[in-house]
């Protein structure tokens, strides 16, 4: 609602895609990236995808589990 572009990452495609869809439905900007956060290369790829999609990163928030 505040206008931020959001990158959503999780191991399961259905989880990230559901959040991505909900953000887009309200007119927001989002990118869903299936990612295994235990894989360092996957995290680098996540950052690269975010930078390519939105031109940079201003904040990174990790919230694992639950």
Confidence class for position 35, pLDDT limits 50, 70, 90 = very high
Confidence class for position 49, pLDDT limits 50, 70, 90 = very high
- Residues whose CB is less than 8 angstroms from the CB of residue 54 and which lie 6 or more positions away in sequence, other chains included: 5, 7, 29, 31
| Nearest residue to 9 via CA among 42, 28, 35, 31 | 35
> pTM for the whole thing?
0.82
Pairing between β-strand 6-10 and β-strand 30-34 as defined by DSSP bridges: parallel
pLDDT recorded at residue 66: 56
The token pair that represents 17 in the structure block: 């895609």
Whether the predicted pLDDT of 10 surpasses 70: yes
Helix, strand and coil percent figures for the chain, each rounded to 5:
40, 15, 40
């Amino acid at each position: 609602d505040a206008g931020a572009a959001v990158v959503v990452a999780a191991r399961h495609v259905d989880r990230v895609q559901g959040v991505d869809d909900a953000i887009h439905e309200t007119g927001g900007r989002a990118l869903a990236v299936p990612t295994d956060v235990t894989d360092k290369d996957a995290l680098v790829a996540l950052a690269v995808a975010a930078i390519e999609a939105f031109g940079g990163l201003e904040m990174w928030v990790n919230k694992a589990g639950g």
